[in-house]
Amino acid sequence: MYSGVELIEFSGESDHVHLLVGMKPSVRLSDLVRTLKSYSSSKIRLNHWVEIRKKLWGTRFWSRSYCAISVGDGATTEIIKRYIQQQDKPR
């Protein structure tokens, strides 16, 4: 779907998702997020309209915001991967 991007890990919750992606420096994060939101919204609306129509923000499936955190010295890829995997488990 998007050249230069690899989905490493993901998890979804009732009101947001976590994605760990590897991407080339030439990929613009804002373009990637816009593409992912647009494509997923279209597919979800097409296949699950009855379930999601009352949960939308007006006509929007996704909010306009997003949070992006880079992996570095203090937070390795493995640490972030484990964090995402544990999000759907009760604490």
The domain spans of the chain are 5-86
Q: Provide the 3-class DSSP secondary structure of residue 10.
A: strand
* Long-range CB contacts for residues 46-51, cutoff 8 Å, separation at least 24: none
List the single range of 5-9, 11-15, 19-23, 48-52 with lowest mean pLDDT: 11-15
Q: What is the pLDDT of residues 33-65, one digit of tens each?
A: 999 999 988 898 889 888 888 877 777 888 888
Say how many C-beta atoms besides its own lie within 10 A of residue 17's C-beta.
14
pLDDT in tens, 64-82: 889 888 887 778 888 888 8
